[in-house]
Amino acid sequence: MQILINEMKRWMVEAGENLKKALAKESLEVDTKSSRTDLVTNLDKQTQDFLIERIVSFDSTANILAEENGKHALSSMEGRVYVIDPIDGTMNFVLEGENFCIMVGIYEDGEPVLGFIYNVIKEEFLWGGPSIGVYLNEDRVNQPTIPSLSAGLVGINCKMYRENVGNSQEIGRRSMGVRMSGCAGVELVHLALGRRVAYISNLSPWDYAAGGAILQTFGMKLSNFNGEPLKFDGQEQFLAASAPIYDEILAIALNTEK
Amino acid sequence: MQILINEMKRWMVEAGENLKKALAKESLEVDTKSSRTDLVTNLDKQTQDFLIERIVSFDSTANILAEENGKHALSSMEGRVYVIDPIDGTMNFVLEGENFCIMVGIYEDGEPVLGFIYNVIKEEFLWGGPSIGVYLNEDRVNQPTIPSLSAGLVGINCKMYRENVGNSQEIGRRSMGVRMSGCAGVELVHLALGRRVAYISNLSPWDYAAGGAILQTFGMKLSNFNGEPLKFDGQEQFLAASAPIYDEILAIALNTEK
């Protein structure tokens, strides 16, 4: 596994260097997908192709589930599955030039093995998995101590917050504040490092696969916003938090508070 | 003025180094002010005292308007006024350890002279004023090209967005997305660099003084959310944007769209 970890980090950092160069040249080709705010660039596609080529060369048994180029569905999570988001936070990539991530999650028969989240501009690489622990760049990271919803910040998806899905406005009100970064990877890293107490959004498998492997290493909980297991199939409303806060938030969302 | 600029940057970077050291030691003393989410730390107060001491030693005519220690009101903006936010984004300072700024705005009889925003962890220093232009660290920054509300991101205060103050939900809907960073300095730097098209929040003079001097250098507009001049006296609902987008947003906010 150590060779795979080292290789994966090397590929992702190399992919990140290419993204930095592309940003410096200001020659992005931007298209829309499902809506005017659902962006994809030539770099999303190129980065995904680059990662898939490296992964498949290394592991000929690899199954791939990835955001672009028609790789967005798999018939099952059986075997070893690499879940790839070549640019998580494409809108930020285009409009901010920062706060975007490259992410890969590795699952074995649906169980998390490894997660890799690389915040390209910050050069902050969070990676790990249940059998090895969690690391930020080269340093071991300990499970954060998160006292309560009322003591921390919550990342919430803009549209879900506006429409008060799952009483998300009340969840925000009970916290220390709501943050919207526009990037699942940024939020899940914050959560793993104790800078957030929860993250609520509308996510696809490539948005949560890497972060999910890392958060589960810390015993944190993630599910759809009804408390049911994530399906790794299409977009779902998503909740992640450390165990006691997860239960507190789900009770607010489902109106089952005692 | 060059000596003042160099000294101010030096003081603010030194203050930032002290904040980094304090974060590394994890010994913050955190108190609340007006509400449970309005935080102040021993470092806010120490940083402000440090900056005031340096400023007054350099300029004995300095009037001071600053967030902490009872310096939060002035009878007028006559003469030379230094408006200081020792830690903008105290909540982020405490809970994220990043996304906070040290800010100083200098005004002469109410007119902007210089603004300084130092994002401590990013080591990103935006500074400038009408007579000298705008600089990011040592590089001259050009006025950003911002095409329309529909093409960019808008920073909006969480509570104002939740309560739909000034139709802010509709403003967000027409944009490419809403961001909430919890730090006025972060948002105003984004706006000055073209990573945002507007910023809407509830701000005090020390939150907007530095950024205001910089944005006005670029001909951008800022006012209260009714389009009236900012008072530099207490908290106000605030709007900043480049000129055509400012007008578009104000028309949505005031229901005066044609």
- Say whether pLDDT at A26 is over 70: no
Output the pLDDT for position B257: 87
Mutate to test the interface with B, among A92, A119, A156, A158 (most CBs of B within 10 A): A158
Contact state of B96 with A37 under an 8 Å Cβ cutoff: no
Q: Are both A166 and A242 inside the same structural domain?
A: yes
At residue A174's C-alpha, the angle toward residues A168 and A176, to 5°, is 105
The domain containing residue A193 runs over which residues?
A: 149-253
Q: Are both B164 and B196 inside the same structural domain?
A: yes
Query: b vs e for A8-36, b when ≥16 Cβ sit within 10 Å of the residue's Cβ?
Result: bbebbeebbeebeebbeeeeeeeeeeeee
Residues of B in contact with A37 (CB under 8 A): 176-177
Question: B29 lies in a domain?
Answer: yes
CA A125 to chain B, closest CA, distance in angstroms equals 16
Q: Are both B134 and B158 inside the same structural domain?
A: no
Nearest to B182 among A37, A179, A182 (CB): A179
Q: Are both B137 and B12 inside the same structural domain?
A: yes
Structural domain ending residue among the three candidates B109, B141, B173: B141
Question: B209 lies in a domain?
Answer: yes
Output the pLDDT for position B134: 98
Q: Are both A18 and A115 inside the same structural domain?
A: yes
Contact state of B162 with A180 under an 8 Å Cβ cutoff: no
CA distances from B134 to A162, A237, B114, B189, B203 (A): 35, 42, 10, 11, 23
CA distances from A38 to A73, A90, A206, B86 (A): 18, 8, 15, 38
- Residue pairs between chains A and B whose CB atoms are closer than 8 Å: 59
Q: Are both A17 and A110 inside the same structural domain?
A: yes
Which runs of consecutive H residues, i.e. helices, occur in B26-166? 42-58, 90-95, 158-162
ipTM of predicted complex: 0.94
CA distances from A159 to A46, A168, A237, B55, B64 (A): 29, 10, 11, 45, 41
Q: Are both A99 and A117 inside the same structural domain?
A: yes
In contact, B190 and B141? CB cutoff 8 Å: no
What CA–CA distance (Å, rounded) separates B237 from B125?
A: 26
B49 is in an annotated binding site: no
Structural domain ending residue among the three candidates B141, B164, B180: B141
Count the domains in chain B: 2
Output the pLDDT for position A257: 87
pLDDT confidence band for A77 (50 / 70 / 90): very high
What CA–CA distance (Å, rounded) separates A66 from A49?
A: 10
Report pLDDT digits (tens) over A126-179: 999 999 999 999 999 999 988 899 999 999 999 999 999 999 999 999 999 999
- CATH code for the domain of B243: 3.40.190.80
Dihedral angle over CA of B189, B141, B124, B41, nearest 10: -40
Q: Are both A27 and A125 inside the same structural domain?
A: yes
Contact state of B179 with A180 under an 8 Å Cβ cutoff: yes
Which runs of consecutive H residues, i.e. helices, occur in chain A? 2-25, 42-58, 90-95, 158-162, 168-174, 184-192, 205-217, 243-253
CA distances from A113 to A76, A123, B128, B187 (A): 17, 23, 50, 38
The residue of chain A with its CA nearest to that of B162 is: A162
Q: Are both A10 and A137 inside the same structural domain?
A: yes
The residue of chain B with its CA nearest to that of A155 is: B180
B44 is in an annotated binding site: no
Q: Are both A236 and A124 inside the same structural domain?
A: no
Tokens of B61: 């005519």
Residue B182 — left, alpha, or beta (φ > 0 → left; ψ -120 to 50 → alpha)? Answer: left
Average pLDDT of span B12-18: 98
Contact state of B95 with A172 under an 8 Å Cβ cutoff: no
Average pLDDT of span A71-78: 91
pLDDT confidence band for B26 (50 / 70 / 90): low
- CATH code for the domain of B121: 3.30.540.10
Question: A258 lies in a domain?
Answer: no
Q: Are both B16 and B136 inside the same structural domain?
A: yes
The residue of chain B with its CA nearest to that of A168 is: B162
Question: B258 lies in a domain?
Answer: no
What CA–CA distance (Å, rounded) separates A224 from B171?
A: 29
Specify the higher pLDDT residue, B177 or A29: B177
Q: Tell me the three state secondary structure of residue B7.
A: helix
Contacts of residue B83, Cβ cutoff 8 Å, sequence gap at least 6: B65, B66, B104, B105, B106, B107, B205, B206, B209, B210, B232
pLDDT confidence band for B159 (50 / 70 / 90): very high
Residues of A in contact with B162 (CB under 8 A): 161, 169, 172-173
Question: B160 lies in a domain?
Answer: yes
* DSSP run (H or E) holding A107: strand A101-108
Residues of A in contact with B169 (CB under 8 A): 162
For chain B, which residues lie within 8 Å of any Cβ of chain A, measuring from their own Cβ? 36-37, 91, 95-98, 150, 152-153, 158, 161-162, 169, 172-173, 176-182, 190, 195
Average pLDDT of span A51-72: 94
Q: Are both A10 and A120 inside the same structural domain?
A: yes
Summary mean pLDDT of chain B: 95
Mutate to test the interface with B, among A174, A179, A181, A197 (most CBs of B within 10 A): A179
DSSP string, B174-202: HSSEEEB-S-HHHHHHHHHTTS-SEEEEE
Contacts of residue A98, Cβ cutoff 8 Å, sequence gap at least 6: A92, A121, A122, B195
Structural domain ending residue among the three candidates B141, B166, B188: B141
The residue of chain B with its CA nearest to that of A197 is: B95
Amino acid at B253: A
Output the pLDDT for position A28: 85
Contact state of B162 with A172 under an 8 Å Cβ cutoff: yes
Output the pLDDT for position B28: 85
Question: B55 lies in a domain?
Answer: yes
Mutate to test the interface with B, among A99, A149, A162 (most CBs of B within 10 A): A162
Nearest to A91 among B91, B177, B180 (CB): B177
In contact, A166 and A225? CB cutoff 8 Å: yes
Question: B218 lies in a domain?
Answer: yes
CA B16 to chain A, closest CA, distance in angstroms equals 19
